[in-house]
Amino acid sequence: MTAQQGGTGDGREGAGRPSRRTVLASLGALPVAAVAAPVLGASGARAATRAAGEVVIDPSAERQTIRGFGGMNHTPWIGDLTAAQRETAFGTGEGQLGFSMLRMPVDETSSNWAGEVATARRAQELGATVFASPWNPPAHMVETFVRGDQQDARRLRHDMYGAYAQHLNDFTGFMRDNGVDLYAISVQNEPDYAHDWTWWTPEELLRFMREHAGSIDTRVIAPESFQYLKNISDPILNDSQALANMDILGAHLYGTPYGDFPYPLFQQRGAGKELWMTEVYHPNSSDSADLWPHALDVGEHIHHAMVDADFQAYVWWYIRRSYGPMREDGQISKRGANMAHFARFVRPGHVRVEATPSPEADVFTSAYRGGGSRVVVVAVNKGGSAVSQPFSVVGSSATTVSSWVTDAGRTVAAQGREGVTGGSFTAELPGQSVSTFVWE
């Protein structure tokens, strides 16, 4: 992402190359019509409501441990979050996003590093995991070369790999000295889509990971491919030394088809490593984040990222933007509400557990186990009609379930508590809505 992102464009507009918007638009037409949604009811679904197959949740069938949900703060490009906006972003109360992850840039100029400290420190105080990604090395470490029709492509000089690792350590140390314990640092933001920053070939990244990443004194993220292209991460997974030096496989999902979300090689080779989705906006940066039911695409996207890809983290691009989770006025948007249905209730350390992923067309469900007997279910209904949705939690002794709903007229609105019998419960999912249910 580039500084051009300061407007509503996507920062990819350049002569002779596709923009992110072009990539995303190619996936298909976007829904724009708003449909009135029925009121959520825990039982006794009305006659017009479709009955769905049961969602069976097995808390003993563990999948991935969740690190969290979050977004990017990039002060040199669009300014810092205000104190109030930090609370909205990382707080977990009503009207807040509940983010538990913060991404920030590693600026090539060290004099800009101080600008990231205030938000990073407050996010950490509120329990967020803080990590960072570089767009460019310091200028003296870079050389230009010809790449296709790009005459001034940039790359890290091969004799500067050790110095670059030290640059990343310097940033980590600066943050530590200023009260921010950086959880991880990336080698490069989008090394495979770098018209406006620094290119890395798969071979160059492999060499750095094998020979220099081991000297970095925090966890290392790689490769943060623009579209989760496996050709740049496969070599790392297949090289024992490079793999030993990688702690987190990071990926972006710009225009990535759902069919490409699974990564069998990571499942085979990535034991002990984390798998994070470190940047996306979806489905575009041109529409308002409050366009409904368009915003439900975010809820479905997170569902597939959790269920199909087994990601442990889901991180949006700019936290505050017209197309982002927080509007420029500091209030959460409808897209942000979709994120909050996960972020506020599926907290770090929760474990995704087996659940019926799609009990019928246009309904998507995922489940997470917290401490004790806590079970969280997020259900997205993209269909135009309400759905009477049965849920059953295997082995649950809970007697009540709490719920929250977002639809055309409500935003993460609490719906109170309803009774549960034998671990089973039926909810009415309004047409074009996202709901969260919590069994305690």
Residues noted as catalytic: 190, 279
| CA separation for the pair 318, 129 (Å, rounded) | 16
Q: Which two tokens stand for residue 438?
A: 């919590």
Which sign, positive or negative, has the C-alpha torsion 410, 412, 415, 420? positive
CB 362 within 8 A of CB 431: no
Secondary structure of residue 300 in the 3-state scheme: helix
Cα 271 to the chain's mean position, in Å?
21
DSSP letters, 30-83, are PP------PPP-SS---TTSEE---EEEEEEEEEEEP-EEEEE--HHHH-PPPH
| CA separation for the pair 7, 33 (Å, rounded) | 25
Q: How many residues does the structure list for the chain?
A: 440
For the packed helices 202-211 and 161-177, what is the interaxial angle rounded to 10 degrees?
Answer: 60
| CA separation for the pair 346, 269 (Å, rounded) | 27
Q: Which two tokens stand for residue 287?
A: 């529409």
Strand-pair category, 101-106 with 129-134: parallel
Q: By C-alpha distance, which of 145, 152, 216, 154 is closest to 187?
A: 216
CB 102 within 8 A of CB 325: no
Helix (H) or strand (E) holding 317: strand 313-318
